[in-house]
Amino acid sequence: MTAALLAGLLAGYGIAVPVGAVGTYLVSLTARTSLRTGACAALGVASADGLYTLLAAAGGSALATALRPLLGPLRWLSALVLAALAVRGALLALRQFRAQRLSTRPERPVPGAGRAYLGLLGITLLNPVTVVYFAALVLGSGTAEAVRPPERAAFVLAAFAASASWQLLLAGGGALLGRAFTGHRGRLATALLSSGVMLALAARMTM
């Protein structure tokens, strides 16, 4: 059981720590909304990681083989979603910047916590790298069929906990970033920078 927990923690951090497009969007979202919204979005990412971990632990090589032909279309779909989010984020930041120059009314956090959770859950589920990563990990250990159900459950829960802890750390960083750049120009600059990074990552996914 201890070995399964350690393996799950290592697996969860292994897929979560490299900050890609999803992590960049999570930090940006928290910076322009609130820590509560960012935390819910972070749990959405971790939920997707946990679901893919469960599928990989249960399906093993059969699941990886079934998904392999879909990697190309999923990669393009992910790139299109990220590009759309980048453009939308940049346009929203520009609109809010212009509105704030004409009005001193407080900005309403958009999106809400529930919408942020579902949005990041969907974005992360579009990423085929996660399920292939976990399937390869299970196969590499040679325990896809031999591991007992309690150990599989421990592996999945540990991977979810590892992913959740890292995503919440990113959300906390986004909240600090939002406090550090509370001015209108600062928020506009960070939003445009985030959109640019996401566009670059989306372009890279198509190569």
Which pLDDT score, from 0 to 100, does residue 83 have? Answer: 80
Comparing CA positions, the residue from 83, 96, 124 lying closest to residue 190 is: 96
Comparing CA positions, the residue from 51, 79, 31, 33 lying closest to residue 193 is: 31
Domain range summary for the chain, segments of one domain joined by +: 2-205
Which pLDDT score, from 0 to 100, does residue 142 have? Answer: 46
Which pLDDT score, from 0 to 100, does residue 168 have? Answer: 94
pLDDT along the chain (207 residues), means of 10: 78 70 82 89 92 74 63 72 77 78 51 88 76 55 56 85 92 81 66 73 69
- pTM of the complete model: 0.68
Long-range CB contacts (within 8 A, 24+) of 110-119 = 110/33, 111/33, 111/37, 112/37, 113/36, 113/37, 113/39, 113/40, 114/40, 116/29, 116/33, 116/37, 116/38, 116/40, 116/41, 116/44, 117/40, 117/41, 117/43, 117/44, 117/47, 118/44, 119/41, 119/44
